[in-house]
Each structure stands twice: as C-alpha cells, then as structure tokens.
C-alpha cells in the first residue's frame, strides 16, 4: 500500500466531484410570492380607483347642492322631522346641447320617517348648479316637493 488515503469510488480522475444539482424550490417560491404581490397590487389599484371615483362624485358640487336643498326643504323637514341626514345612493351626469344635468338619488332619514329623494340639477357650466325639482318618496307615494317648472319628474 502506498501512503495515500483510500480513494472514494465516486471520485473521478478527470476533476473534482460535482455538487448535486440545486432544487428550484426557492425560485418557485419567489415567483409565487411575486405573482401574488402583483395580484394584490392590482386589486388595491382597482379598489382605489373605484373608491376615489365614488369620493369625487359624492363630494361634487352638484351632489353637495342636492344634499343641501333636501336638508333645508321645509316640506321634507315637516314630513321626516329634523335633523335630516342624507347619503348618496347614486348620481348620473349628462351634457346635452351645452346644458349639464345631474340626477342625484339620495337616501334621506329623519326622526319621524325615512325616504328617498331624487333631485334634478342643471347648469350651463358658467353658473352654479340650480335645482330643477326635488321628488320625495316615503313609501306612502311619491310627490314633487319643489319644482321650478323645468323638466317634469318621472
């Protein structure tokens, strides 16, 4: 025997032993986390756009004018009681032949009763929003509580 240590049978005379191939488990985990992060970011962006749009609509000049007109209307105060609270249910903006219209649908409640108010506002863009009519529905029928002899409420 020579003075050399015994040789490993897997040792090749052509070079050093090759390490075993690394698994790609860490790569798949990183890709999964990255894809999940992109999905979460996309959902947050969509929710932010919708929430931001709703915030802008609910605080628009037309909706603010509609809420104020409903809250100070004496007929509505007598029927629902005071103080009144309003919340935006929906709003639709249109422009036709230079006239802007906003059809605002509000949930209205007071200490006596609650109801729904539809408010039609108009503007030519150079002036503030004006109230064309307010229609109140309390479940006992619908009626116009304010009208400026402009478009007939539906």
Domain boundaries along the sequence of the chain:
23-59, 61-147
Whether 109 shows a pLDDT value over 60: the answer reads yes
Question: What CATH architecture applies to the domain 61-147?
Answer: Roll (3.10)
Q: For 22-65, how does the pLDDT look when each residue is reduced to its tens digit (9 = 90+)?
A: 668 888 888 888 899 999 999 998 988 887 777 777 677 888 88
Residue 14 has pLDDT above 80, yes or no: no
Listed range (10-14, 47-51, 81-85, 139-143) with the worst mean pLDDT: 10-14
**What does the pLDDT read at residue 152?**
44
Counting other chains too, the contacts that 124-133 makes at CB distance below 8 Å and 24 or more residues apart are: 124/98, 124/99, 124/100, 125/98, 125/100, 128/61, 128/65, 129/61, 129/62, 129/65, 129/66, 129/102, 131/65, 131/66, 131/69, 132/101
pTM of the model: 0.63
């Amino acid at each position: 025997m020579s003075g050399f240590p015994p040789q490993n049978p897997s040792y090749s005379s052509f070079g050093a032993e090759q390490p075993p191939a690394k698994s790609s488990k860490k790569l798949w985990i990183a890709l999964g986390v990255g894809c999940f992060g992109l999905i979460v970011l996309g959902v947050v962006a969509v929710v932010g756009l919708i929430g931001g749009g709703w915030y802008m609509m609910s605080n628009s000049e037309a909706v603010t004018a509609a809420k104020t007109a409903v809250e100070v209307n004496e007929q509505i105060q007598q029927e629902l009681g005071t103080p009144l609270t309003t919340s935006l249910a929906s709003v639709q903006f249109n422009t036709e032949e230079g006239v802007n219209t906003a059809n605002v649908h509000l949930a209205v409640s007071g200490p006596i009763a609650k109801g729904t108010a539809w408010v039609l506002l108009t503007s030519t863009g150079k002036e503030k929003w004006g109230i064309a009519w307010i229609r109140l529905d309390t479940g006992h029928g619908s009626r116009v509580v304010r009208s400026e002899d402009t478009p007939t409420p539906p």
